[in-house]
Amino acid sequence: MKILVCISHVPDTTSKINFTNGDSEFDTNGVQFVINPNDEFGLTRAIWFQEQQGANVTVINVGGPDTEPTLRKALAIGANEAIRINAKPTDGFFVAKQLAEVIKQGQYDLVICGKESLDYNGGMVPGMIAGLLGYNFINSCIDLKVDGSSAKVIREIDGGKETSSASLPLVIGGQKGLVEEKDLRIPNMRGIMTARTKALTVLEPIDANNNTKAVKFEKPTPKSAVKLVSADNLDELVSLLHNEAKVI
């Protein structure tokens, strides 16, 4: 089985978010970048397939040279090879077009994406890849099993879960639950050393539209100070929630 895991290079979840250049660009100053957490669950699942059932795992990212440490980390975790498409990921459709092209050329059986990246939160790339290629697609996946050419997938739905089956090739949008958090891999020294010798191919992007663009960023307006209520006067809290906040 040939698996492609799409990796977003995103700010660490503890990052303070700031903007620069007249609030038109994300300020990367002092920001630590990581593998998008939703993608990390998918990568670990892919490595599990590699170890348990035999699979070749390629990781891919659309980004500049600065994203290579993130791909190297994925290689250190166990991916066999990496591809970087040398372009700034400015729009979900543009990214999906780039990835779809590689998938078409590489004939991947299973494409694992995170359901959304934690920077722009667009949540559109996995579905767009599937739409562009006419592949089967299942989003918000919390379990994935593959037997031969068919997959059984559990996805989260509002207020429950749903089990589906689909044949390969398949694109999934994965999330927490795809593997347990405790089973996420941390690169060990051997993995880091081996990763240095693994292939990281750089491809130039194909022509594709940008359908959207981020014009400007804003930070939420600072909140007024919390109103503290004494633990002995909870009637006041009930009254505030009813009369002032009007939520009960």
Partner 1 sequence: MSLLIYAESAEGKFKKVAFELASYAKKVAESLGTTVTAVTVNASDVSELSKYGVDKVLKVTNDKLATFNAKAFADVIKQAAQKEGARVIVLSSTTDSIYLAPLVAVGLEAGYTSNVVGLPLSTSPFQVKRNAFSNKAFNITEISTDIKVLGLAKNSYGLVESTSTLSTEDFSPSLNDADFNVKVENVEKVTGKVTIADAEVVVSGGRGLKGPENWGLVEELATVLGAATACSKPVSDLGWRPHSEHVGQTGKPVATNLYIAIGISGAIQHIAGINSSKVKVVINSDPEAPFFKVADYGVVGDAFEIVPKLTQKLKEFKAQNS
Kindly state the smallest distance separating residue 221's Cβ from partner 1, in Å.
10
Contact 111, 166 (CB under 8 A): no
Residues 57-96 that bind partner 1 (CB under 8 A): 92-93, 96
- Burial degree of 131 (CB within 10 A; 0-12, 13-18, 19+): middle
Q: Which one among 119, 143, 205, 208 touches partner 1, defined by CB under 8 A?
A: 119
Dump the DSSP string for 155-183. EEETTEEEEEEEESSEEEEE-TTSS-GGG
- Using CB under 8 A as the binding rule, whether residue 229 contacts partner 1 is answered as yes
Q: Which one among 163, 186, 190, 243 touches partner 1, defined by CB under 8 A?
A: 163
Residue nearer to partner 1 on the CB measure, 152 or 196: 152
Residue nearer to partner 1 on the CB measure, 189 or 226: 226
According to DSSP, the β-strands at 2-6 and 110-114 are parallel
Kindly state the smallest distance separating residue 200's Cβ from partner 1, in Å.
27
Alpha-carbon gap, residue 127 to 121, rounded angstroms: 14
Residues 164-223 that bind partner 1 (CB under 8 A): 164-167, 173, 176-177, 181-182, 209-220, 223
